[in-house]
Amino acid sequence: MTNTTHAVPIHTLTTHSLITKAGHSITARVFESIGENKGVVIIAPATGVAQYLYDDFAIWLTEQQFTAITFDYEGIGLSVNRHVKYSKSDKLSWATHDCAAVLDFAEQNYPDQKRTWIGHSVGGHMLGMMDNTDRIDQAITVAAGTGTWWFNAPPTRRIAWLFWYFIVPVAVPLYGYFPGKKLRFMCDMPKGVVMQWRRWCLKRDYAVGYEGEWLRQRFARVTMPITALQFSDDEMMSARNIEMLHQFFTQAPQTRLEIKPSDVGQKRIGHIGWHRARYRVLWEKYILNALQTDTEINTKSHLTANNHCSGTA
């Protein structure tokens, strides 16, 4: 693991290379809290959204006395080890290797801190695909729903069929990866990620519908409280998509909130962008409230779990 420290105003930012159990490395960054640390917040990005785009939000978290951890999945952003066409990753490996490595890092470096997972879009899916979510005290999902294309919001539904039935099946075999930059649509992504995503989006029950009972049961094992935020003007995720994803978390207590742009003094929020500085009102009104909800209960639960684990072989 290598550490690089950068001088930035007020807070401390460090960059870390994490080696996953699969042997590849991913890049994570830590934004240390300003003052007393109230907990660690892991920001799990949406598909194809580089971690630096969450910087405004991460810095705001430090001002609220939380340590924020951002990262890129393998094959994306700072975690492209070679050309993306050489990546062997898919979305399940993002969960089982990359997300697990970030959670291990958070636990090792902040063992007594409450851990909150904020999952944007696919970052919320990861909660049901990881096998070590028992070490997460609380989760907040943002615009996270199934990708089943015929349930998508109308703007996406109108083009999704073209993307999944024509563009992806032609472009990915031709280039050996998804050439998002050439197509000016999203970013370059590993072949395995996009082809697996396609298989899931063609199933009514999305990933669970394709992968089967083992994944359904993994979602069902998640027990931490989840606050699910959805945006009324999300051009990708419909309310149906979001409801369908969260129904798989059968054992997790959930609070779902729909946010309209007018609720936070904006004309638009959409699927991507809530993490930019102009949405500070949204963070203060909804995310900070969620972070503070049941803090004492969750912290006690986390400490109890730590004591229990230390007493077992």
pLDDT tens readout for residues 161-188: 999 999 999 999 999 999 999 998 888 9
Considering the domain delimited by 3-153+214-310, tell me its CATH architecture: 3-Layer(aba) Sandwich (3.40)
Radius of gyration of the chain (CA): 19
Exposure letters 212-233 (e unless 16+ CB within 10 A, then b): eeebbebbeebebbbbbbbbeb
Q: Which parts of the chain sit beneath pLDDT 50?
A: 2, 4-9, 295-313
Q: For residue 50, what are its two tokens?
A: 């580089």
Q: Nearest CA to 145 among 243, 234, 222, 225?
A: 243
User: In Å, how far are 62, 66, 151 from 236, measured between CA atoms?
Assistant: 30, 30, 9
Per-residue pLDDT at 184:
84
pLDDT tens readout for residues 93-106: 999 999 999 999 99
User: pTM higher than 0.75, yes or no?
Assistant: yes
- Contact residues for 306 (Cβ-Cβ < 8 A; gap 6+): 111, 112
